[in-house]
Amino acid sequence: MKIITTIEELRSQLRGQLRTAFVATMGNLHDGHLSLMKLAQKHGDPVVASIFVNRIQFGPNEDFDQYPRTFRADVEKLEKEGVYVLFAPTEKDMYPEPQEFRVQPPENLGDILEGRFRPGFFNGVTTVVLKLLSCVSPKVAIFGKKDYQQLMIVRNMCRQFALPTEIIAAETFRAEDGLALSSRNAYLSPAERGGAPFLYRTLQHVADQVRDGYPDIFKLEKHAMDKLSKQGWLPDYVSIRKRINLQPPTAGDIAENTPLVVLAAARLGTTRLIDNLEI
């Protein structure tokens, strides 16, 4: 595997490649990331991965400094997956001057759910993703459904800017007890890790009730938040949305079986976890 740090070298290494499959990460790779690499192998060649902890998507009180950085172990894992190029720029390589031009996602998608609790988050994500796509020029890029809103925003961005990259969704990779894998799981104490699958179980319960035809989605959301609180979580939201645009469904949407997704974010101790489940 070639490890490349500068945009110039990356461009010259990938020149002429027409079927590149790309996976963007912030490192601290787990089996969820590796499942994205495996899906990338199926959709293109060569596979290019990036590791870059993107400061501009972190809020001032978020975990940029603590974010787990495990570069050596990450390199070994990517080598085993047959990744051809790892792009691992420093902040100076990626942002040699202050990144004043930014992508501004539309409010109806970027300022709801995660965007409401993490102002500026999707501006930072889409800005770095656009820049990475411009450097790698992939035919396909793989994004996980674990970050459901991010996937949808990136996909819409690529469509509206007519980027020549197809965005492919990968299923969420879960531990045996149901917890969605995430780098932030590393912050959980053993006791918290034991309780963490409760978030997924709560989503499953909500999804079952919607499928059973329970009509009052606001009640379902509130009940789920109350249950999380009773178990010691601090929920930001549990929200049933339409898959197509992440807007709340109307009674008519529910009656017509419009495809839905339930999304949640909640804090367990100091760790903020997110998860979702398609209904």
Q: How far apart are CA 123 and CA 105, in angstroms?
A: 6
**In terms of CB distance, is 43 or 131 closer to ligand PAF?**
131
Task: Please name which of 39, 69, 37 lies closest in space to residue 53, comparing C-alpha atoms.
Answer: 69
**In terms of CB distance, is 119 or 259 closer to ligand PAF?**
119
Residues 11-30 touching ligand PAF, rule: CB under 6 A, are: 24-26
Helices (H), strands (E): how many in the chain? 12, 9
H or E element, residue 238: strand 234-242
Cα R_g (the chain), whole angstroms: 19
**In terms of CB distance, is 142 or 279 closer to ligand PAF?**
142
Q: Strand 271-278 vs strand 260-268: parallel, antiparallel, or unpaired?
A: antiparallel
**In terms of CB distance, is 159 or 222 closer to ligand PAF?**
159
Annotation marks residue 33 as catalytic: yes
Cβ pair 150, 143 in contact under 8 A: yes
Which stretch in 112-120, 121-129, 201-209, 228-236 sits in contact with ligand PAF by CB under 6 A?
121-129
Provide the β-strand partners of residue 273. 266
The interface mask with ligand PAF, positions 42-61, x = CB under 6 A, is ------------x--x----
Note whether 129 binds ligand PAF by CB under 6 A.
yes
Q: Of 49, 125, 135, 254, which one interacts with ligand PAF (CB under 6 A)? A: 125
Annotated catalytic residue within 33, 43, 205, 223: 33
